[in-house]
Amino acid sequence: MTTGWRGHRGLVEDELRWWSSYRSSGPIKVFRIALTPDSGREAAAWNLLDTAERQRCRRFLYPAPRRQFLLCRAALRAVLCVALDCDNGELTFEFSRYGKPIPLVGGDRVPMHCNVSHSGSHGLVALSHRGRVGVDVEERRPRKNLEELVETVFGPQERALLARLEGQSWLDTFLAFWTGKEALAKAWGMGLRTDFSTFQVPPEMLRGERTGLFRCPRITNATWRLEDIGCDELAAAVAYEEDPGPGGEF
**What would the DSSP string read from start to end of 143-164?**
-TTGGGGHHHH--HHHHHHHHT
When pLDDT is cut at 50, 70 and 90, the band that residue 191 belongs to is: low
Q: Determine which helix (DSSP H) or strand (DSSP E) holds 66, and give its type and residue range.
A: helix 63-84
Query: How many C-beta neighbours within 10 Å does residue 94 have?
Result: 12
Q: How far apart are CA 43 and CA 55, in angstroms?
A: 15
pLDDT for 222: 87
Q: How far apart are CA 64 and CA 69, in angstroms?
A: 9
User: Can you give the residue ranges of every domain in the chain?
Assistant: 3-131, 136-241
Q: Are 105 and 55 in contact (CB under 8 A)?
A: no
Pairing assessment for the beta strands 113-119 and 108-109 based on DSSP bridges = unpaired
The rounded percent of the chain whose pLDDT value lies above 70 is 92
Q: Determine which helix (DSSP H) or strand (DSSP E) holds 216, and give its type and residue range.
A: strand 211-216
pTM of the full predicted structure? 0.90
- The pLDDT mean for the chain works out to 90
CA torsion, points 100, 41, 51, 120, in degrees to nearest 10?
40
pLDDT surpasses 90 at 242: no
Q: Determine which helix (DSSP H) or strand (DSSP E) holds 83, and give its type and residue range.
A: helix 63-84
Please state which CATH number belongs to domain 3-131. Answer: 3.90.470.20
When pLDDT is cut at 50, 70 and 90, the band that residue 247 belongs to is: very low
- Specify the higher pLDDT residue, 216 or 41: 41
Q: Which residues touch 30 (CB under 8 Å, ≥6 apart)?
A: 21, 22, 23, 24, 124, 125, 126, 127, 135, 229, 238
What 3-state class would DSSP assign to 131? coil
- Specify the higher pLDDT residue, 133 or 245: 133
Q: To which CATH superfamily is domain 136-241 assigned?
A: 4'-phosphopantetheinyl transferase domain (3.90.470.20)
pLDDT for 249: 52
Q: Output the furthest CA–CA distance in the chain (Å, rounded).
A: 55
pLDDT surpasses 60 at 71: yes
| 3-131 and 136-241, same CATH topology | yes
The neighbouring-strand residues paired with 92 are: 104
